[in-house]
Amino acid sequence: MDANFSLVIRNGLIVDGNGGEPYAADLAVRDGKIAAIGKIDATGAEEIDASGRIVTPGFVDIHTHYDGQITWENRLAPSSQHGVTTVVMGNCGVGFAPIRAHQRDMAIRLMEWVEDIPEPVMAAGLPWAWESFTEYLDFIETREADIDFAAQFPHNPLRVYVMGERGAYLEPATEDDLKRMRELTAEAIRAGALGVTTTRSFSHRFRNGDPVPTLDTERAEVMALAAGLGDTGTGVFQLIDNAREGAARRIEMLREIAKVSGRPVSFTLAEVTNGEEDMLQILQGITTANADGYAVRAQIIPRPVGTLMGLDLSLHPFSACPSFQPLLNLPLAEKVKAMQDPELRAKLLAEDPQDPHEFFQSIVSDLDMVFVLGDPPNYHPTPDMSIAAQARAKGLNPKEVIYGALLKRDGREILYRPSANRRGENFEATGADMLSNPHIIVGLGDGGAHYGMICDSAYSTYFLEHWGRHTDEAKRVGLARSIKMLSRDPAEAVGLNDRGSIGIGRKADLNVIDIERLHLHAPTALYDLPSGGRRLVQEADGYDATIVSGVVTYRKGEPTGALPGRLVRGAREASA
């Protein structure tokens, strides 16, 4: 008998992404969309027994940097390994279009030190088959992937494209410059960009410490982008603002962007050291802004934000020391052998790091909050678990103990240095405060970037495992709300209203999850990027199947080889 559907998932507990109570039902797919829900007697060309499993919408990560990776490979991992079926890239005002041939080197240097993508990887991987942003979209529309992908229009390459060296060296924009930026922003949105993005973060700098082109741009330039967005009547404005400006000024700018554009605004929110008061003021500020009619939402990751350090990674406490520089590009085994030499060890222990990049200098210099990450990874350690605290308790020199820790597991030990979203000795308080606000978006996976510093693309698994079934009932987010926050909420925030929940006619992006077995493993380093470049990946147990447009892309965490993912151009209306 011919199959009635391309796929039938039977006996699952459906958690539909709308926030309602889960319910038992079968689900059938036809032509890439959900065609039936309930008791299904008809057959499917492929069937999945979801007994004892939950069936969820595919997750949507609206903060990634796959702008380069999509041009050279077909798997948008690690995001696609953690139930994510749609990613949005081009965040933080960085990307690879629009760009002229002589500006490519600057774009590569910018992405290398803002997003930790090694220069040889980009030099070998990027085909540079475009100049305008529309041409970039046309190129990536030819690409096939394991999940869907959408792009945003980044401010940094736009500024340099319009202004040339004047833009690169932070000169103020003229009226003609602003007019052209506005026109090109509107052109990009009409071509299919989901929004426009910028960065004003003090930590976004080139390797020599120079700020990125957009760091100190005048407010009029930011508003020119907002006006261009408003000219189209669609899209979102995304930014990472300057946390040093204070809560009142940050909220004021967010409101002005929303007013000028008439469009939703989302921004990165993290609680920096001693920044509890500012963070709480900002949460209250966005609540007030929404009450006043401005759609302002904060993108968060609800755990301590930290750098992963190790001899096999981009940074560690000795990486910026003068005596370590000859070792930087050596294979791991040779680094380990060299560091075991007593003479070099003595030199490194006596030296202080000398990094021209202010943010990186702070990361490698502060040794009081450095932990062994462990497996399973512990993102919520207590201060007494730090290497320094344990060393002092034993009367040892913390720096010497950290040196020894780096050499463990043949130099593959990963150290964890939380730098934000931790409050004193309470590593959960910030996340709990953020999750209590209805105007936050869970995300900030940063997939496609920070290949050797972080692996936050696993946030969806972490969120379900930690907050979704927290042992403290008062802190527990709960299954139905957790799934909604990973799927429908982020999808709607960027106008992708055809996905993110389960319903007849909706796009068949789905997960079948053994929630009782859901488990996040520690990150590991792989050398599988172009030119042998390194990246961190993080595996998880519990994902029985991930489905994109009705096609199974992952089974038991392993890729099937199917590549149904495509470029999503522009906002999507809700399916009937």
The CA-based angle 213-530-374, given to 5 degrees, is: 85
The reply to whether omega before 398 is within 30° of 0 (cis) is no
Q: Residue written as tokens 């034993």?
A: 394
Q: How many residues does the chain have?
A: 576
Supply the DSSP string of 429-447, one letter for each residue.
Answer: HHHHHHHT-TTEEE----T
Closest Cα to residue 152, out of 88, 84, 204? 88
Backbone angles phi, psi at 307, to 5 degrees: -90, 135
Cβ proximity of 397 and 318 under 8 Å: no
Amino acid 457: pLDDT:
95
CA-to-CA dists, residue 163 to 100, 171, 522, 528, angstroms: 12, 9, 44, 37
Query: At 244, which amino acid appears?
Result: R
Q: What is the pTM of this model?
A: 0.95
Cβ proximity of 85 and 483 under 8 Å: no
Closest Cα to residue 159, out of 237, 241, 67, 95? 95
Query: At 469, which amino acid appears?
Result: R
Alpha-carbon span 443 to 501, nearest angstrom? 17
Closest Cα to residue 7, out of 57, 55, 42? 42
The reply to whether omega before 127 is within 30° of 0 (cis) is no
Closest Cα to residue 73, out of 23, 10, 122? 122
Please give the biggest Cα pair distance in the chain. Answer: 77
Based on C-alpha coordinates, what's the Rg of the chain? 23
Alpha-carbon span 67 to 141, nearest angstrom? 12
- Range list of H helices, 34-77: 69-72
Per-residue pLDDT of the chain (576 residues; tens, 9 = 90+): 356 899 999 999 999 999 999 999 999 999 999 999 999 999 999 999 999 999 999 999 999 999 999 999 999 999 999 999 999 999 999 999 999 999 999 889 888 878 889 899 999 999 999 999 999 999 999 999 999 999 999 999 999 999 999 998 889 999 999 999 999 999 999 999 999 999 987 677 666 667 788 877 889 999 999 999 999 999 999 999 887 888 999 999 999 999 999 999 999 999 987 889 999 999 999 999 999 999 999 999 988 888 999 999 999 999 999 999 999 989 999 999 999 999 999 999 999 998 877 777 888 888 889 999 999 999 999 889 999 999 999 999 999 999 999 999 999 999 999 988 888 778 888 999 999 999 999 999 999 998 999 999 999 999 999 999 888 888 899 999 999 999 999 999 999 999 999 999 999 999 999 999 999 999 999 999 999 999 999 999 999 999 999 999 999 999 999 999 999 999 998 865
Query: At 207, which amino acid appears?
Result: R
pLDDT tens per residue, range 498-517? 999 999 999 999 999 999 99
Task: Give the sign of the dihedral formed by CA 295, CA 57, CA 88, CA 83.
Answer: positive
**Residue 2 neighbours by CB under 8 Å, 6+ apart:** none
Task: Give the sign of the dihedral formed by CA 375, CA 377, CA 382, CA 383.
Answer: positive
Closest Cα to residue 421, out of 449, 462, 481, 375? 462
Alpha-carbon span 21 to 101, nearest angstrom? 54
CA-to-CA dists, residue 141 to 192, 226, 368, angstroms: 11, 26, 47
Q: Is 446 left (phi over 0), alpha (psi -120 to 50) or beta?
A: left
Alpha-carbon span 19 to 5, nearest angstrom? 27
Amino acid 1: pLDDT:
37
Q: Residue written as tokens 């495509």?
A: 566
Supply the DSSP string of 418-430, one letter for each residue.
Answer: EEES-BTTBSSHH
Amino acid 502: pLDDT:
98
Alpha-carbon span 270 to 273, nearest angstrom? 10
Q: Which domains does the chain have, with CATH numbers?
A: 60-69+85-229+236-303+424-456 (3.20.20.140), 307-419 (no CATH)
Alpha-carbon span 240 to 538, nearest angstrom? 25
What six digits make up the tokens of 204?
A: 């976004």
Supply the DSSP string of 119-172, one letter for each residue.
Answer: HHHHHHH-----SSHHHHHHHHTT--BSSEEEE-EEHHHHHHHHHTHHHHTTPP
Query: At 383, which amino acid appears?
Result: P
Residue 23, SS3 per DSSP: strand
**Strand 265-268 relative to strand 415-420: parallel, antiparallel, unpaired?**
unpaired
Q: Residue written as tokens 């096999």?
A: 312
Q: At what angle do helices 219-232 and 247-261 cross, to 10 degrees?
A: 40
- Range list of H helices, 262-317: 276-291
Backbone angles phi, psi at 441, to 5 degrees: -125, 125
Cβ proximity of 379 and 427 under 8 Å: yes
